[in-house]
Every structure is written in structure tokens, then in C-alpha cells.
Amino acid sequence: MTETITNAIAVRDNGPGALVAQHRSDIELVMPSHMQKRVGAWIRTTQGLLRRDEKLLKAAQNDLGQFMSVLLDAARLGLEPGTEQYYLVPRWNKKKRCTEVTGVRGYQGEIELMYRAGAVSSVIVEVVYSNDRFDYRPGRDERPLHNIDWDAEDRGQLRLAYAYAVMKDGATSKVVVLNKGHIAKAMAKSDSTGQDWSPWKTDTEAMWLKTAAHRLAKWVPTSAEYIREQLRAQADVAAEQQPTALVAQLPQPIAIDEDEAIEAEFVDEEAEQ
């Protein structure tokens, strides 16, 4: 029934939506195993985004190959496209002189990849407004102290963004703190800066959070690299245990008392005479 509905939607779309359904097997192939059971819902969500957003649909139609490449990247990471995990953004391509779809990993996506690695127990990513109280001194403080007046009607202007993780052994990762200058440099590198549809304009706070989370990802294991390290560790343990197991199968030497050995030697010599 689910498959029938998906196909019906694809036929009605007769465009990028149909292409997504046609490449279901490719999408499922690159997805993490825990996401593969939800591939149908994942596809329907993407098709729904195209129907609701004319600019996104037009950008996808302009370059179907680029559109599918972005979707496969989201699928490979196991993130939901069109959410704060993974933005689908129409971007102007100067060479092609048209818009195309680009993928932007959101702050929730960055956090999801950290949790999925299995090395952290919690990830904290927050923004600080000018009326908040924020105190952190590297070398003195393990974690920032951030106090918010929740009764205040206006917390002021965005001032800082910070992020850190608490590892499963209780240790605190590096604390990343970004000010307006750091955010401005990150924003300047974005191709969407200045465009009306840019997430820097439509969801400014989320982009501050995303920038802080992205910087933290350099100091905290993400799913791909953590899995590789785990596999290497397992291989090293197996390599160390293999010789031990082989030795255990060999006949064990018999312990002989030194005096008995000498006495036996004399008996043998007398026997030979």
C-alpha cells in the first residue's frame, strides 16, 4: 500500500519527485542501516517539500543531477532533507545562470552525527543574547556559565554562540565560543549570503548554532570516523589475541624437578655401561 501511494505521488509530480521515487534503491543503498526501514517516508517527505516550495521545485528541475547528488548526500549521512538537520536551498549558479539545489547541513544534523558516533553522552549548543549573562575562562572553567532571564520579553541581540560535548567518561570536550566576528567570517564564505532565501536571513539563530556545532565537530568524533576507529581497535585486539590462542592449542611443557633430572641422567649413563 505504501509503495503504491509513493508511485502515485511520483507519477503526479512527473518531475523531480518522480526521479526521487525512481532512485529509491540507490537512496536506500547509501543510507545507514537504521534509516533504511524509513526510506519510504523519507522519499514522501522530500516529494512534499517540492510540492510546497515552488522555488525549490524550479531549482531541482534546472539540474536534476545536482538535485539527486544533494539528496544522496543527505541519505548517506542519515539526515532528513528540508529540516534543521539538512537544509535544501535553491542557490544561484553564475556559470549556469540559473538556480540549483544545494545541501546545507544544519546544527541538528551536526549534533545527530555526534550522538550517532556513540562517544558522547550529551551535546550542548546554545546562543547568547546581549541581555544574557555568560562567563567562561579557558583553563579555569570546565564549562561555560550561561544564565538567562526567562521572564525577559526581549533578550537583546545575538552576541555569541557556543558548543561543547560531555563524553561518556564524564570528560568535557573543547569548548567552542564564537563571537559576531567569527560568525561574519563564516557567513561571508556562504554562497547564499545576500539572497532572500538564504538560511542566514530566514533562520539566523539556527545558522549561528550550526556554525558553532560545525566547529565543535572538529573536536568530537563523528559517526564515520568513530566507526573507523572502532574497527581499527577491534582489528588490533584480534591481531593481539590470535597468537595467544594459537599457543594455547600447543602441548604445554612438563615441569621437571632439577634434582630428578640429574638423577635420571646418572641412571641412563649406568644403564649404557
Residues with Cβ within 8 Å of 3's Cβ and at least 6 positions away in sequence, in order, are: 40
| DSSP codes joined into one string, 167-216 | ETTS-B-PPEEE-HHHHHHHHHT-TTTT-TT-HHHHSHHHHHHHHHHHHH
Q: Point out the least confidently predicted range of 56-60, 136-140, 154-158, 225-229.
A: 225-229
Task: Write out pLDDT tens, residues 180-204.
Answer: 999 999 988 876 666 666 778 888 9
Q: Is the pLDDT of residue 263 over 60?
A: no
Residue extents of the structural domains in the chain: 2-105, 108-223
166-191 mean pLDDT: 92
Task: Write out pLDDT tens, residues 52-101.
Answer: 999 999 999 999 999 999 999 999 999 999 888 998 988 888 888 888 99
Question: Is the model more confident about 65 or about 259?
Answer: 65
pLDDT score for 8:
45
Cβ neighbours of 44 (radius 10 Å): 18
At residue 48 the predicted structure's pLDDT band, cuts being 50, 70 and 90, is very high
Q: Which of 138, 137, 183, 175 is nearest to 159 (CA)?
A: 183
pLDDT score for 230:
53
Q: Is the pLDDT of residue 261 over 80?
A: no
* Cell of residue 5, nine digits: 501511494
To the nearest whole percent, how much of the chain has pLDDT over 70? Answer: 74
pLDDT score for 238:
61
Q: Which of 97, 87, 4 is nearest to 44 (CA)?
A: 4
Our CA dihedral for 9, 83, 78, 28, rounded to 10 degrees, sits at 10
CA 59, CA 89: separation in Å to the nearest integer? Answer: 9
To the nearest whole percent, how much of the chain has pLDDT over 90? Answer: 50
Query: What are the CA-CA distances from residue 225 to residues 28, 72, 217, 219, 260 (Å)?
Result: 21, 19, 11, 12, 60
CA 102, CA 67: separation in Å to the nearest integer? Answer: 7
Question: What is the pairing mode between strands 176-178 and 158-167?
Answer: antiparallel
Mean pLDDT of the chain: 80
Q: Is the pLDDT of residue 262 over 50?
A: no
Indicate the helix (H) or strand (E) that contains 217.
Answer: none
